[in-house]
Structure 1
Amino acid sequence: MTTPQLLSDEELERSAVVANNSMNRERGLTGVNSYARELGFDPVAHLSALSVSPSWLDLCSGEGRALREAAGRLPTAAVLTGIDLVGPPGPAPATPGVELVTASVAGWAAPRAYGLITCVHGLHYVGDRLGLLARAASWLTPEGLLVAHLDPDSIRWTDGTSAGRAVLAALRAAGFTYISRHHRLTLRGPRSVRLPFQYLGADPHAGPNYSGQPAVASFYRRLGS
């Protein structure tokens, strides 16, 4: 296999696959097409069980519908933040406690710690997904939980072969848990994560992944190689 022409994060975000992806645009909190179904648990139940005020950061949050629905079931002190490259199609309804930020997750930094951090199928469209995971690991509260969908087959070496096995081994060594059946990566509690890989760029023409939707392949090299 040969390496395709790789795009920087800025170029990637202008590509048709990323700019036009519909993941999470209208996904609700519970029900058939919901966060509860994709995550395997009710986000509000998790947040309500925390010993501190609920706080949820949703990366690649789409229109933020799930956050707005959660706000109605949580105390008024709850902090719910959604980050999305495109964001709502128009001015989002004002919901107390909910902040929807239109920004690239590649350069965004959390201003506080969160009890729940989610990225429901959003990593499929992020270039440096390992860099985002490493940063997000430090944004958790002591009892916080990070859950993200990850496709190891879309992480590749410079020659185009899969880096998935090596990447999963490094993530597990850093404290993450991966359930291959559901493609869910989880982490409990904050930590400083340094993964032994250098991001090289992304290919938006990699084709469909396990979700059946066109996705992005991210290319890395092992540090020291």
Structure 2
Amino acid sequence: MPKPPLVSASELERSSVVANNTMNRERGLAGVNSYARELGFDPVARLAAGPAAPSWLDLCSGEGRALREAAAVLAADAVLTAVDLVGPLFPVPAPPNLEEIVGSVCSWAPSRTYDLITCVHGLHYVGDQLGLLARAASWLAPGGRLAAHFDPESVRWADGSAAGRVVVPALRAAGFRYSARHHRLTLDGGRRVRLPFRYLGADPAAGPNYTGQPAVGSHYTPV
């Protein structure tokens, strides 16, 4: 099997498969094309049932429509943070309890923990998916939940062969739950996560994944 040409994070973020993706740009809170449907739970209901001043971090948030809708119904002291490489294409002022950050989820880091962290189909366009998952685990509050879509077929070894059968058990050993039916990873409770893999680079020409959209291949070597 020929080794695929791998690119750096900066090269990946300039590639057409990442810069032009539209996977999460119009998704709202509820309905057919919604966070509730994709995550399998209502984010606002979960936050409202939790501690006072709930907090939600949405990685790869697209237009940020879901968080803007949440800001309108959650308490005024809720803390909502949206991070996206492109951000809103037609920005209007965000609600006071919502911070919209335009930047790379691979280099950005928060200064606080969150009760809910989501990444709806965003990992498909991230080079070091496992690195982001490990970092996000440390951003969770003790009773918080992380929920993200994950495609095991997108993680590969250096030679391009499939690594998912090794990676998924390692994620489960670290505390993640994985639903193959829904392609969802969840983690309850913030913690330090170390995964036994070293990131090598990304393949922006990996082709379509289970969504039918072009996605990124993430290559690792075991450590």
Instruction: Give the structure-1-normalised TM-score.
Output: 0.98
Q: Distance in 2 between the 1:79 and 1:127 partners?
A: 28
What's the Cα RMSD here?
Answer: 0.7
Q: How far has the Cα of 1:111 moved from its partner?
A: 1.2
What's the offset of the Cα at 1:165?
1.0
Match of 2:125 in 1: 125
Q: Residues 44-59 of structure 1 correspond to what in structure 2 (within 5 A)?
A: 44-59=44-59
Task: Out of 98-107 and 85-94, give the one that drifted further.
Answer: 85-94
Other-structure match for 1:162? 162
Gaps of 5+ in 2: none
CA contact (8 A) 2:4 2:159 kept: no
Q: Report the CA distance between 1:72 and its aligned residue.
A: 1.1
2:215 aligned residue: 215
Query: Is 1:138 the equivalent of 2:138?
Result: yes
| TM-superposition CA deviations, 1:84-118 (whole Å, max 9, x none) | 00001133333120111000001000111000000
Give 2:197's aligned residue. 197
Within-5 A mapping of 1:13-162: 13-162=13-162
Instruction: Tell me the distance in 2 between the aligned counterparts of 1:133 and 1:52.
Output: 26
The Cα shift of 1:53 comes to 1.6
Partner of 2:177: 177
* Structure 1: 5+ residue stretches without partners: none
| d(CA) in 1 for partners of 2:187, 2:53 | 20
Count, aligned residues: 223
Hey, what's the Cα distance between the residues in 2 that align with 1:32 and 1:96?
Answer: 28
Cα distance in 2 for residues equivalent to 1:155 and 1:174: 17
Q: One-letter code of the match for 2:29?
A: L
Distance 1:20 1:143 in 2: 35
Runs of 4+ aligned residues of structure 1 deviating over 4 Å after TM superposition are none
With normalisation by structure 2, the TM-score equals 0.98
What is the rounded CA distance, in whole Å, between the counterparts of 1:2 and 1:156 in structure 2? 13
Q: In structure 2, what residue type is equivalent to 1:63? A: E
Deviation sequence 1:30-89 (CA, Å, 0-9, x none): 011000000011100010111232100000000100000011110000011000000011
